[in-house]
Amino acid sequence: MGRPRMSLELTDDERATLTMWSRAGRTEQRLVKRALTILGTGEGLPWSQILAQTGLSLNNSLKWVQRFRAQRLQGLRDKPRRGRPARYTAVQKVSVTALACRPPPEGYTNWSQRQLAEATGLSKSTVNRILTEAKVRPHKIDYWCGKSPDPEFEAKQAEIIGLYIDPPDNALVLAVDEKSQLQALDRTQPELPLRPGQPRRQTATYTRHGTTCLLAALAVHQGHIDGRCVDRHTNQEFLAFLKHLYRKYPRRQLHVICDNFSAHKHTAVKEWAAKRRRLTMHFTPTYASWLNQVESWFRIFTRDVMRGGTWPSKSQLVKQIMAYIDQYNQTRAKPFKWTYTGKPLAA
């Protein structure tokens, strides 16, 4: 190729940046070719070698060299293009967003993109782009803990948190609750095992073998679980469980944290608890059972045992639950730690 070589001086920073662009795996290929063109020109390579390396034409390569001379590294970037004009106006964007944030027509609970398109006269794809840009998702619902109407919320909350953070001497803090409606489900066909690239598979049809209820007490500062399975979860079963806990720890002051389930506040339970010097009952505020730490353990239990399980009988389910509790106490039991580091929610 008869065209003479072009001289091009590069600074150390420019050379380092161009080298990084040419070697980075995520750099756009067009920018890689332009960087190689400038590097080759700066090294004084012949055009035949530069063109073979980049695959660009001579005129294209010369254009980027000239752009680099005039604007340096910035000259290798594509100039901003005007692009296709917007297919919807700001008024249409506001109308779609406002409509999506209002209740849907009577009989519906959620807006669909088709309904929004019909109501606004726009296409579904346009509605989708507007909603995506505005970060409006009519199909999604998040749940949050509403404000408790309990007038004694602050006092009850402080009492329970105080037990968690600074319990009295010789006191045992027990978080107690029940996990009801644990179904012993068996599939109508054998389960297909887990394989590489394929999850466990179960039939959608199943057989019920009854339900059980797990009464559990979490020793807050030790992490151990005491549990028993019962057929019902009335005040009688709950009182029997409290008596079991009271006998199990004969020389300890017991502070039992419960929610406001009717069985926990039954007259028989209150009368029995009032006669026990070593026992103090603490009830979470209304709509604030999440303050009870045993709820966190129930989430672990549900994930480890109940999700995806199959049992040919209720007795098998009960046996597995108790075996899991024993194994948990021996290998995993430890106090829960507070890990939230963000700002507290506004009152």
pLDDT for 271-297, tens place per residue?
999 999 999 999 999 988 889 999 999
Calculated CA dihedral for residues 13, 16, 22, 24, nearest 10 degrees: -110
Q: What is the pLDDT of residue 296?
A: 94
Give the DSSP letter string of 34-58: HHHHHHHHHTT--HHHHHHHH---H
Res. 300 pLDDT band, cuts 50 70 90: very high
Q: Taking each helix axis from N to C terminus, what angle separates 113-120 and 124-134, rounded to the nearest 10 degrees?
A: 110
Query: Distance (Å, rounded) from C-alpha 29 to C-alpha 78?
Result: 13
Backbone phi, then psi, for 336, in 5-degree steps? Answer: -75, 140
Residue recorded with tokens 């007490």 = 217
Q: What percent of the chain has pLDDT over 90?
A: 46
Res. 61 pLDDT band, cuts 50 70 90: confident
Kindly state the tokens that stand for 232.
């019902």
Question: Distance between alpha carbon 339 and the CA centroid of its chain, in Å?
Answer: 15
Q: Label residue 102 exposed, middle or buried (CB < 10 Å: 0-12, 13-18, 19+).
A: exposed
Identity of the amino acid at 287: Y
Calculated CA dihedral for residues 333, 334, 335, 337, nearest 10 degrees: -120
pLDDT tens digits, residue range 251-262?
Answer: 899 999 999 999
Res. 344 pLDDT band, cuts 50 70 90: low
> Which carries the bigger pLDDT value, residue 303 or residue 72?
303
Instruction: Give CA angle at 98 (93, 102), nearest 5°.
Output: 150
Cβ proximity of 163 and 282 under 8 Å: yes
Strand partners, 228: 215
What is the pLDDT averaged over residues 81-89? 70
- Residue 313 is classified by DSSP as S
Return the H-helix or E-strand segment holding 133: helix 124-134
Identity of the amino acid at 206: Y
Cβ proximity of 185 and 311 under 8 Å: yes
N- to C-terminal Cα separation, the chain: 77
Backbone phi, then psi, for 216, in 5-degree steps? Answer: -135, 145
What is the pLDDT averaged over residues 123-145? 87
Res. 338 pLDDT band, cuts 50 70 90: confident
Residue 18 has pLDDT above 60, yes or no: yes
Q: pTM value?
A: 0.66
Cβ proximity of 58 and 1 under 8 Å: yes
Listed in sequence order, the DSSP H helices in 249-313 are: 267-274, 294-301
- Residue 73 is classified by DSSP as G
